Amino acid sequence: MQITGSIPALVTPFRDGRVDEKAFEAFVDWQVSEGSAGLVPCGTTGESATLSIEEHDHVVGLTVKAARGRVPVIAGCGSNDTMVALHHMESAARAGADVALVVCPYYNKPGQRGLLAHFRYLADHGALPIILYNIPGRSGIDMATETMAELAEHPKIIGCKESTGDIERVSEIRQECGRDFLILSGNDYMTLGIIAHGGHGAISVTANVAPALNAAQVKACLDGDFATALALQDQLYPLHRALFTDASPGPTKHALSVLGKMGAETRLPVVAPSEASRAMVDAAMAHAGVAP
């Protein structure tokens, strides 16, 4: 199993407050046909924080079913409760997911020793390999590279989603964790730089809206064709920015509603993006050449 390339952090479509299964299955099929190299259900962009445990597990199962073995499924399994994270890992494994993406426990601020204990417990007791998700801006705790290096010694902890916004961190991780330790960009605007520094791909928000272009850019980066990658960066950068001009994934769902892929419904406390945000998304889609 190879984890590389452009991997969308899938949105979860809703209709009248419930998961829109039909739209989601069609959306997954479109993502694969457009060149996405993997799928991440129930991450931050999938509104995992407002999915019930039952819904969370169901969406992972829907993703595996819709993927039909064509690409790996990296199931979002994070929680600020270690036992809930373990439950998600066990459920994802039963559903047929390939890997668990596990965010640093948010709100609790467990410290480095707590991070070690949390992830070691999950690696020891869970059935899936783990990709660490370090996003201090959301979790409130930054996993130190030294801590990640200790965790990388565990055979079931195979990589990280790097979302600190610090490009130097990529080289630190390569030095401390080894060159076989997966590093996936968690910030679309930094993917070109992260791969140039030794990353292996991206878990992407923009890939929801422009999967073919995003896949082409990541492939160009991985192939060392940085002239093409830079041209695609120029094409996609306004979209990278626009999708975060209001609370995520509101702008992304607006873009997908414009494309006719699903409705724009979100769950509270995320509300519909502002008029200014929608206008920026529309302009960025036109700039990227993905407007209908």
Question: Which residues carry out catalysis?
Answer: 133, 161
Best CA proximity match to 57, nearest among 48, 67, 44: 48
Please check whether residue 87 is in contact with residue 52, taking contact to mean a CB–CB distance below 8 angstroms: no
Residue 102, beta-bridge partner list: 132
Q: Which long-range contacts (CB under 8 A, 24 or more apart) does 147-152 make?
A: 147/112, 147/115, 147/116, 148/173, 148/176, 148/177, 149/176, 149/177, 150/116, 151/115, 151/116, 151/119, 151/120, 151/123, 152/176, 152/177, 152/178, 152/181
Helix (H, G, I), strand (E, B) or coil at 140: coil
Distance CA 17, CA 13 (A): 10
Distance CA 154, CA 288 (A): 41
What is the token pair recorded at 52?
A: 């019930």
Distance CA 106, CA 91 (A): 21
Please check whether residue 79 is in contact with residue 119, taking contact to mean a CB–CB distance below 8 angstroms: no
Distance CA 253, CA 85 (A): 26
What is the token pair recorded at 260?
A: 């006719």
